[in-house]
Structure 1
Amino acid sequence: MADSLLRPTSTISTAQSRADRALLHLGRRLMADGYRFITPTPLTHQRVNARAGNASASDRRGIFGWSRPFDAEAFEPAEWLELQEAGIVVKAHGRWHSTVRWSSLDSLLLAHSAFPTDDADSVFFGPDTYRFAGVIDECLRQRFAPIHRAVDIGCGSGAGALLVARARHNAEVLAVDINPSALRLSAVNAELAEAPNVSVYHSDVLDSVEGHFDLILANPPYMKDSQQRAYRHGGGALGEALSLRILREALPRLTREGTLLLYTGVAIVDGRDAFLEAARAMLTSDAFGWTYRELDPDVFGEELEKPGYERVERIAAVVLTVTRLN
């Protein structure tokens, strides 16, 4: 990796450095070619790929968006060699596949894990990311207090951190995650976005970073995942534990007029929102003002057929906004 891609706490091998450079080069080529791809839900992705004629990729969107198998002839020899050596393309079941997807978010292009995201260290990007981005944009438009320091907890692809960094060029923006794959992709995405004010740290929530923040972002996993994959599993009875932990640990790290923006999903059982009830108990102090709203009353409905969700009537996407008043 070039020096400009190095981020605090990163230790990257020479082989991985070459892979990161190749990924950055690919992203720049795709942007120059006008590539755009909006990533849908996994279920929509599966349904579209299952249609007649979609068994193989016929263009770059098919390869790097829809994650379809393809033939080596799709690339020029020099580019093909770089992609192979970097492990960006691999052969499985006799066909070539990309190990990454590239998704568009406004003017940004972001690398994340290829479909299907079955690996424990997968880096997820999808409709939740777009909703989260909308919440961030709204917050930045409405916020008049300066943002000197911000952090994106569980940064994944780095989308949240990059939106803040591009809107507030003078802010120091931290992107933190426990997943080394997420940190690697966030660093590449930050370089591609030309956002030098983003720094990437390995951290379990805020354990490895110090100080206070004017803006804390989080879009944590909120499912009850039987495989306990880090990008999906939120812990607790129905995936709420990590979101509550972030709330608990973020509150004392806010500056005066600092804001926590927590986008998450909640399992509604018999009309009750257990996450909201637990959050309300943490927010009884007059030191904080807060709002809570449902952005989407019904997301990932297919999860209701899985073990553990027998009593859940819906999963709602919600946003909790907390501001320290004094």
Structure 2
Amino acid sequence: MTSFFDSRLEVLISLGQELQAEDYRFTTVTPTTHARVNARPENSLAGDLQGVFGWSRPFPDALISERMLALLETGGLLLRQDSQWRSAVRWSSLDGQLFAHSAYPTVETDAVFFGPDTYRFAHALRQHVLSGEAGTVRRAVDIGCGAGPGAILIAQAYPEAEVTAVDINPRALDFTRANACLAGIDDLQIRQSNLLDGIGGQFDLIVANPPYLLDPQERTYRHGGGEFGAGLSLRIVETALQRLNVGGTLLLYTGAAVIDGDAPLRPQLDALLTNRPVSWRYDEMDPDVFGEELDCSAYQQAERIAAVTVTVKRLA
């Protein structure tokens, strides 16, 4: 089966290079903030590159260069909206690098999301590496890689390591491939996999930034399943327990619904990890994320959703 971006990889890389040459930068916000900002009358049309490739606003063809317009058209990434155009791809910046991902709004079931969670995940990963907690890394994997920031950051931090990016969503792998090429990484292993099914061997470092919400549409990038969206996160911990080398670590960035002051995720993790040869830590990174979800029936018992990191080290 032809992958979504098989014929567009070079187009994406070229477009990214064009944006780099223009010193394009864009910090991606939550979908709710995005909708509010775009709803302002003065933002109905894009007025610059950030409006086109960051805010995903409609634009007249004269706004961007002929080269960029031609690249979008050649790659099938140019959408018609009334008498204007829209880009079907979006670009966000992180650590001085650009990452291609799905345009706003991310309504498709296979959309590839990049946003504030990505920035928090990258921060946690940098701290994990810089603190030395990750130890010696010869083999690493990013489970549910999305647009690839985790795997790319690991490959840059450990240039001699074998780094694999896996995702169940083929579209995510296409974006990862383009972003890795744009970052100058040509040896990243990119594989389609449900968790680590079909991926052999043990790892010194496993990282994951999985979906952790209960999404009525069960979109791949958003739906965590299980109790309050924690199902996929718990499966990742279970998988890591079997696949970490002695001394290896798991860094999981996820979300946890909080009910009457406590997150059900914590005792669930404790049940998984007690009496195992591991040390582990649960840290609340941000006490309140995706507050709009509290209006949904699935979260009627919750008082907040926290962004958390779970760090697990295998001792024996």
The 5 Å alignment of 1:36-185 reads 36-143=25-132, 145-185=135-175
**C-alpha distance 78-195 of structure 1, shift in aligned 2 (>3 A):** closer
**C-alpha distance 12-199 of structure 1, shift in aligned 2 (>3 A):** farther
Moved more, 267-276 or 148-157: 267-276
Which amino acid in structure 1 is aligned with residue 18 of structure 2? R
How far, CA to CA, are the matches of 1:119 and 1:133 in structure 2? 25
Which amino acid in structure 2 is aligned with residue 310 of structure 1? Q
Find the counterpart in structure 1 of residue 240 from structure 2. 250
How far, CA to CA, are the matches of 2:68 and 2:311 in structure 1? 45
Find the counterpart in structure 1 of residue 19 from structure 2. 30
Using the TM superposition, give the Cα deviation of residue 74 of structure 1 relative to its aligned residue in structure 2, in angstroms.
2.3
Which amino acid in structure 2 is aligned with residue 71 of structure 1? P
Unaligned runs of 5+ in 2: none
The 5 Å alignment of 1:178-257 reads 178-257=168-247
CA offsets per residue over residues 47-95 of structure 1, 9 Å max, x none? Answer: 1111231110011111001110001122344542331121221113342
How far, CA to CA, are the matches of 1:12 and 1:139 in structure 2? 37
The 5 Å alignment of 1:226-305 reads 226-305=216-295
How far, CA to CA, are the matches of 2:119 and 2:71 in structure 1? 31
How far, CA to CA, are the matches of 2:309 and 2:228 in structure 1? 17
Secondary structure of the residue aligned to 1:87 is: coil
CA offsets per residue over residues 157-193 of structure 1, 9 Å max, x none? Answer: 1000111111111011111001111000000000000
CA offsets per residue over residues 126-157 of structure 1, 9 Å max, x none? Answer: 11000000100001012262100100000001
Structure 1 contact 291–321 (Cα < 8 Å) conserved = yes
How far, CA to CA, are the matches of 1:142 and 1:238 in structure 2? 31
Secondary structure of the residue aligned to 1:252 is: helix
Structure 2 contact 72–87 (Cα < 8 Å) conserved = no
Which amino acid in structure 2 is aligned with residue 125 of structure 1? F
Using the TM superposition, give the Cα deviation of residue 271 of structure 1 relative to its aligned residue in structure 2, in angstroms.
2.2
Structure 1 contact 212–255 (Cα < 8 Å) conserved = yes
How far, CA to CA, are the matches of 1:170 and 1:114 in structure 2? 34
Structure 1 contact 150–214 (Cα < 8 Å) conserved = yes
Structure 1 contact 172–198 (Cα < 8 Å) conserved = yes
Find the counterpart in structure 2 of residue 309 from structure 1. 299
Using the TM superposition, give the Cα deviation of residue 16 of structure 1 relative to its aligned residue in structure 2, in angstroms.
3.9
How far, CA to CA, are the matches of 1:290 and 1:77 in structure 2? 53
CA offsets per residue over residues 255-279 of structure 1, 9 Å max, x none? Answer: 1110000000011122231111111
Using the TM superposition, give the Cα deviation of residue 208 of structure 1 relative to its aligned residue in structure 2, in angstroms.
2.1
How far, CA to CA, are the matches of 1:142 and 1:75 in structure 2? 43
Find the counterpart in structure 2 of residue 5 from structure 1. none
Structure 1 contact 170–197 (Cα < 8 Å) conserved = no
Unaligned runs of 5+ in 1: 1-10
Using the TM superposition, give the Cα deviation of residue 286 of structure 1 relative to its aligned residue in structure 2, in angstroms.
4.7
Moved more, 197-206 or 79-88: 79-88
Structure 1 contact 171–197 (Cα < 8 Å) conserved = no
Secondary structure of the residue aligned to 1:18 is: coil
Which amino acid in structure 1 is aligned with residue 179 of structure 2? N
Structure 1 contact 23–88 (Cα < 8 Å) conserved = no
Tell me the C-alpha RMSD between the 2 structures.
1.4
Moved more, 263-272 or 183-192: 263-272
Find the counterpart in structure 2 of residue 3 from structure 1. none
Using the TM superposition, give the Cα deviation of residue 215 of structure 1 relative to its aligned residue in structure 2, in angstroms.
0.3
Which amino acid in structure 2 is aligned with residue 26 of structure 1? L
CA offsets per residue over residues 11-62 of structure 1, 9 Å max, x none? Answer: 646x843311111100011111111101111111111111231110011111
Residue-pair matches, total = 315
Question: What is the identity percentage for the equivalent residue pairs of Structure 1 and Structure 2?
Answer: 50
Using the TM superposition, give the Cα deviation of residue 241 of structure 1 relative to its aligned residue in structure 2, in angstroms.
0.4
